[in-house]
Each structure stands twice: as structure tokens, then as C-alpha cells.
Amino acid sequence: MKLPFAQVKRSVCLGLAMVGVTVMTGCAVVPAANIKPGFSNVSQVEQSMGKPDMTWRNSQGKVIQAAYSDQPASFTTFMVYFNEQGVVTGVDQVMNNKNFAKIKNGMDGQEVHKILGPERSVDHFTALHQIDWNYGYCSDNDGREVFSVSFDDRTLKVNGSVVTPDPLFSLGDNEEARCVPYIMGETYAR
């Protein structure tokens, strides 16, 4: 029996789409729900989520904060906070307007990292004496955008910030692509 071309084309497209879904979901997807504030500790978090992209330690050398970022491929950075005994006190997705508003002129890079985690890219504008750290995120209107923190390259202090459509996921003509924001407590892909 010979199948019509349209049916074959649809079957091939469906098959390719299923392969794409399989490949995408084949990534290490770790339930953020496994991390329980008040119960989980540093080693359990690392066992569940892997090695963090950045950590901050107290004066005794214990981890008190860890950043897990999926930049530049996606738009989330999770901060996991620990008490002095190494027990989780909270988990936050920090790529949002609330945390961007915490970035103030005069801050240094360490202060910015502690709020937003690792940047996805860095741009240097020599003639302007400006360095930009770029963070991809999903805006409140579900658009793929970039929050850029600008530093004066002579003082290495924040001197401004700007939001622009994400050029990595642009629809052209400076139009931002759409994204589906994570749902708190669901999954974190590494």
C-alpha cells in the first residue's frame, strides 16, 4: 500500500518532533522539590543538583549560599541558602525584577554575583569604559530578555543597568521571543 505524501510528511515530522522531545527531556532533570528547607544539607543538594556554579562560604569555610545557573541556554538561576549548620533555609529563582531592583550603582562584582549568580556573557565597550554582565531571563510578559549590569571598567563598580530583548532568542527586528517561565518547585535542568 502506498501512503499519500502528506501523510508520510506528517509522520516524519511527528517522529522528528518526538525525537526532539526525547532529546530535550533526556537532560539531567532534577526535581527542585527534592530540596527541603529545614531538612536538606549541602551534600544532599550537591547529590541532587550537582556541583554549583558558584558558592559563598562563612568564616569557618562552610557553604552558606550556592548558585545553580542554566544560562545561556535557558533563563533561570537558582540560589540555595544554608544556615551555619549547612542545612537549607531557602531556594529562590533569582532571575526576576525583584532581584534586578537590588542592583545599585556603586556595587562591585562580588555583590552582584551574590544576588544574581554567574553572568551568561560579558561585553566590553572600551571607548565607553564600560563592561556589561548579561543575564538572560523570562520577563513578566513571558518574553526572553536580557538584564545587563554595566560596570565602569576603571573602578569596576556598577554604573547602570538596562533591559533588552534577548538577541540569542530574537524573532528579528528587536522583537523578543516568548518563553514559558518555570513553575516554582518543579524541575531544574542541568
- Delineate the domains of the chain, giving CATH numbers in brackets: 28-189 (3.30.1450.10)
> Which range (29-33, 68-72, 131-135, 161-165) has the least confidence?
29-33
Q: Quote the pTM value.
A: 0.76
pLDDT of 2 > 90? The answer is no
> Which range (1-10, 96-105, 152-161) has the least confidence?
1-10
pLDDT of 184 > 70? The answer is no
pLDDT tens by residue, 79-116: 999 999 999 999 999 999 999 999 999 999 999 999 99
pLDDT tens by residue, 109-151: 999 999 999 999 999 999 999 999 999 998 888 888 999 999 9
Query: Could you tell me where the DSSP H helices lie in the chain?
Result: 5-25, 42-49, 97-100, 109-116
Strand intervals (E) in the chain: 29-31, 54-57, 63-69, 77-82, 88-93, 121-125, 130-138, 144-152, 158-165, 187-189
